[in-house]
């Protein structure tokens, strides 16, 4: 399962990570987000130990969604060394996400 990331844990989990981080910005009411959720969970299992995979519920955690200009969900951002290195807006096939993580590894 992907980590549940909040505004309170974002700095530590994402920005201070020594591994690449995939962050899925989502909301419970968002249909495409529900399509992406099982893919993100699969990636979380497959990349365990190599990358951090987490989710931010934008309804309850708006600080970092606003900071990174997340206007449409799902938006997946890839971080490396605390910086955004790639992004995917809207639902996409699993390979689109894994290619982005692989490029950051």
Instruction: Return the SS3 of 35.
Output: helix
Helix (H) or strand (E) holding 4: strand 3-5
**CB distance 15 to 54 below 8 Å:** no
Q: Which of 2, 14, 21, 33 is catalytic?
A: 33
Q: Which of 5, 21, 23, 30 is catalytic?
A: 30
Nearest to 8 by CA among 72, 56, 49: 56
Known catalytic residue at 30? yes
| Catalytic residue check, 33 | yes
| Residues paired with 76 in a beta bridge | 24, 88
Catalytic residues: 30, 33
């Amino acid at each position: 399962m992907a980590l549940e990331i909040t505004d309170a844990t974002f700095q530590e989990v994402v920005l201070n990570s020594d591994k690449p981080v995939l962050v899925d910005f989502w909301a419970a009411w968002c249909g495409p987000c529900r399509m992406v959720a099982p893919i993100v969970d699969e990636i979380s299992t497959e990349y365990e130990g190599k990358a951090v995979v987490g989710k931010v519920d934008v309804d309850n955690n708006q600080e970092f969604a606003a900071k990174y200009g997340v206007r449409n969900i799902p938006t997946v951002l890839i971080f490396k060394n605390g910086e955004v290195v790639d992004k995917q807006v809207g639902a996409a096939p699993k390979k689109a996400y894994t290619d982005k993580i692989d490029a950051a590894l």
